[in-house]
Amino acid sequence: MGVLDDAVAIFGCFSLEDPAIGQADLARRLDRPKATVHRALKTLVASGLLEYDHSTRLYAPGMRLFELGQIFRSRHHFLDMIYTRVKQICDIGGHTGYITVFDGFDLMVLRVVRGSNPLAIASTPGYKSPAYATSNGRAMLAMLEDHVWKSRVPEPLPYVSENSPKDHAELKERIGKVRATGRSYASNEIVEGVSSQGVAIRDPETLEIFGVAISYPASLGTPELKEKIAVLLDQMRTDLSIKLD
């Protein structure tokens, strides 16, 4: 077993009923040599993931785990807030909403709000698509400095569709428009016949960027609908910013 396996096994021994455990007890529970457990415990204590009480000779989860837990809690609290607002927007028009994060050159869908419209479009959590060829992806890229977003897209840009950016110069132009207007659009790019509008929001605690897209059939994309969705997305960003200040 490797060091990581040892660490995972050790963490699995702690619970609310057993918040602190001695080395001998850990070795017995894991059925591993005391020397192996001792080496793993020494590394975990040095990294702050575990704490050692010299008076009781017991090990317990350390401050670093608490810090990581706070990051996890904050991230999901913010994600829940976004989800609530996206659902409200989708309930109004019956369209479909997505919440995404960066995953390499791609976006990955974290949550989906499925629309009530009979023509609702939806993918599933875990679905990935090129960031530069989506409305929410370009909104997310627009929040990054130029040298940073360029590292998040391939060079050259693979062909997606006639409506997607063909190269970095065209992508830079579209990102500039997003920065100037605060709005990002896509139509007939990843999926033929589908349009979307997207925005990006940064978690103030973790600084992670979340993308939000509202999608609808391109045939329904009237100027009035586009403006209505844009206003709702703008209001969502504003309300979340005020709530978190």
Rg (CA), the chain: 23
Please, what is the Cα angle at 161 between 155 and 166, to 5 degrees? 35
pLDDT at 187 over 80: yes
Q: Which of 113, 152, 108 is nearest to 127 (CA)?
A: 108
**Predicted confidence (pLDDT) at residue 74 exceeds the cutoff of 70:** no
Q: Under CATH, which number does the domain 71-244 receive?
A: 3.30.450.40
- Over residues 31-72, the pLDDT tens digits come to 999 999 999 999 999 988 999 999 999 999 988 887 777 666
Where are the chain's structural domains?
A: 3-61, 71-244
Kindly report the CATH number that applies to the domain delimited by 3-61: 1.10.10.10
pLDDT classification of 138: cutoffs 50, 70, 90:
very high
Q: What is the model's pLDDT at position 241? A: 77
The answer to whether the Cα torsion of 99, 135, 172, 183 is positive or negative is negative
| Cα 143 from Cα 102, distance rounded (Å) | 12
- Give the up-direction half-sphere exposure of residue 191: CA atoms within 13 A in the CB hemisphere: 15
pTM of the model: 0.69
- Which residues contact residue 177 at a Cβ distance below 8 angstroms, ignoring those fewer than 6 apart? none
**What is d(CA 13, CA 161) in angstroms, rounded to the nearest whole number?**
51
